[in-house]
């Protein structure tokens, strides 16, 4: 967060300790930090990381089948996954970032106020992550058992054209068999 602020970079902390307890009341340990960077600021952020002693471990292009994140390593701080976009949101990455940032707030992480997405956006990001990671832990999505949550998450998924990713996370991917991205998500 401090590197981003000093470099004038917009980013959002996602997953792990950045998750609102209403979405995941369990305390989970985390082995890295995940940030979603405004696409227009990505190069500046990566330069700032390198200047602060971080080394690129994997590139965005080779990091996953979704070409969405680069892993950086620091000898004292460990890993940070720098997300250029969030897999599943099929609108322009800059526009998707703006939608995910709406309603965002500061959450203290390690005594540092960190920018995180709004609650509904956190929920959608989490479901989309489940869809691509196949974590297999239905308890991680228990917050969706409340009808109002699911309706809000579905509405946000429509705004960012992420209905397929949402279906994957909910175990309903077969509804999208005709979609060109079906095989990638399967």
Instruction: Kindly give the pairing relationship between strand 32-37 and strand 78-83.
Output: parallel
Do residues 126 and 142 lie in contact, with contact meaning Cβ atoms separated by under 8 Å?
A: no
| Across 91-114, average pLDDT | 94
> What value does the mean pLDDT of the chain take?
85
> 53-68 pLDDT, tens per residue?
989 877 565 555 555 6
Full-model pTM:
0.86
3-state secondary structure (DSSP) of residue 111: coil
Band of the pLDDT at 92, cuts 50, 70, 90? very high
Do residues 59 and 105 lie in contact, with contact meaning Cβ atoms separated by under 8 Å?
A: no
Degrees (nearest 5) of the Cα angle 137, 160, 125? 25
What does the alpha-carbon distance between residue 41 and residue 43 come to, in Å, rounded to a whole number?
6
Task: Determine phi and psi for 120, rounding to 5 degrees.
Answer: -65, -40
3-state secondary structure 45-102: HHHHHHHCCCEEEECHHHHCCCCCEEEEEECCCEEEEEECCCCCCCCCHHHHHHHHHC
């Amino acid at each position: 967060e401090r590197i981003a602020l000093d470099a004038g970079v917009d980013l959002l902390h996602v997953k792990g300790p950045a998750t609102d307890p209403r979405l995941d009341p369990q305390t989970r340990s985390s082995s890295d930090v995940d940030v979603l960077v405004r696409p227009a600021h990505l190069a500046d952020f990566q330069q700032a990381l390198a200047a602060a002693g971080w080394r690129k471990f994997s590139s965005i292009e080779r990091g996953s089948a979704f070409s969405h994140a680069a892993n950086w390593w620091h000898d004292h701080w460990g890993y940070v996954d720098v997300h250029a976009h969030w897999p599943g949101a099929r609108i322009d990455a800059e526009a998707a970032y703006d939608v995910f940032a709406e309603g965002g707030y500061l959450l203290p992480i390690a005594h540092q106020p960190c920018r995180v997405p709004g609650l509904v956006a956190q929920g959608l990001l989490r479901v989309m992550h489940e869809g691509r990671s196949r974590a297999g832990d239905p308890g991680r999505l228990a917050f969706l058992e409340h009808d109002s949550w699911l309706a809000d998450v579905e509405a946000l998924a429509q705004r960012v054209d992420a209905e397929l990713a949402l279906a994957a996370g909910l175990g309903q991917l077969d509804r999208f068999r005709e979609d060109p991205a079906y095989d990638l998500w399967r």
